[in-house]
Structure 1
Amino acid sequence: MSSIGTATTDVTQLDVSGLKIAVVAASWHEQVMDGLLGGAKRALEQVGLLDTSTVVRVAGAFELPVVSQSLAQTHDGVVALGVVIRGGTPHFDYVCSAACDGLGRIALDTGKSIGFGVLTCDDEQQALDRAGLAESQEDKGYDVAAATLQTAVTLRELSQHG
């Protein structure tokens, strides 16, 4: 029985040599997005890919799929980062659905690692708690970048053993 891929988030143990990674990050909610983007960059820096990675900013979470799709054509993995905070209208539901469905479809259609880093929160505090800021409880930007790297490595291993 062969063992391909691991359930680790220790990115320093991954063989990421030769991988080309992109990060696409929404601009809406600057404080949260700066935290998410910072976390993703920390993960890429830990494995020596930050300087060779592509970082693109888009308006909001709705724009993540189309830009991620374009980046997936030339990259092994795309870390998609955004935040949508529930308001008093159905806008939240539409944007979250479009981002989730679009990014999932891109992963399946391209066979590339597409990291889903869209925070879907009921309020601003939930987003801040997950943004990877000094006062945050979680660092979802880092976590999603780590998962994207791990999946890209696993996909590469599968293609070599196929």
Structure 2
Amino acid sequence: MAGTGVPVRERVDGTGLTLGVVATRWHNELVDHMLDRAIEAGEASNVDHITVARVDGAVELPVLAQALARRVDAVVALGVVIRGDTSHFEYVCQSVTDGLTRVALDESTPVAHGVLTVDNYAQARARAGFEDSAEDKGYAATLAALDAACALRQVAKS
């Protein structure tokens, strides 16, 4: 959590845009809240439509993000991966990051990486957008994806 240099805005002008959000079911008490915050960010930004898809785990996020990226203007992937006692954490985090990046590039659609990759539950909660959280990753990731979609729209017009 850098804590400095974060863009400060409450909404993006998403009028005319469609948004897809894919979220995991692991750590649902955190991810469900992040999903709610992502939807709130989309609504505050006046997007035309929000499609939500759920998957069990983080490794499944990229394939659903790709399906959404083919149908919407911006995608947000949400989840929580907490480090355990094995190297599985590194494989999952790398796979998700590589997959989401590939989807964004292959589909020319912004895909925001809203997957918390943390050492423990407290770190995840601090980033999940609760009243006592230092960050609001669901909301911020949604604004980032919508902002990139607006920038792409501008580039296409020029």
TM-score normalized by the length of structure 2 = 0.91
Determine the structure 2 residue equivalent to 1:19. 17
CA distance in 2, matches of 1:144, 1:95: 20
The C-alpha deviation readout for 1:48-94, integer Å capped at 9, x for no partner, is: 23x72101111111110000001111111101101100000111011
- Say which of 87, 91, 94 aligns to 2:88: 91
- Residue 10 of structure 1, CA deviation: 2.4
- Say which of 32, 35, 48 aligns to 1:34: 32
- Residue 17 of structure 1, CA deviation: 2.0
The C-alpha deviation readout for 1:23-68, integer Å capped at 9, x for no partner, is: 001110011102211221111111223x721011111111100000
Determine the structure 1 residue equivalent to 2:128. 131
- Residue 9 of structure 1, CA deviation: 4.7
Answer 1 or 2: which has greater helix percent. Answer: 1
Report the residue type matching 1:19 in the other structure: L
CA distance in 1, matches of 2:7, 2:126: 23
TM-score normalized by the length of structure 1 = 0.89
Number of aligned residue pairs: give it. 153
CA distance in 1, matches of 2:8, 2:107: 24
Determine the structure 1 residue equivalent to 2:156. 159
Q: Given the alignment of the two structures, is residue 110 of structure 1 paired with residue 107 of structure 2, yes or no?
A: yes
Determine the structure 1 residue equivalent to 2:3. none
Long gaps (5+) in structure 1: 1-6
CA distance in 1, matches of 2:128, 2:10: 19
Identical amino acids, percent of aligned pairs: 47
Report the residue type matching 2:42 in the other structure: L
- Residue 102 of structure 1, CA deviation: 0.2
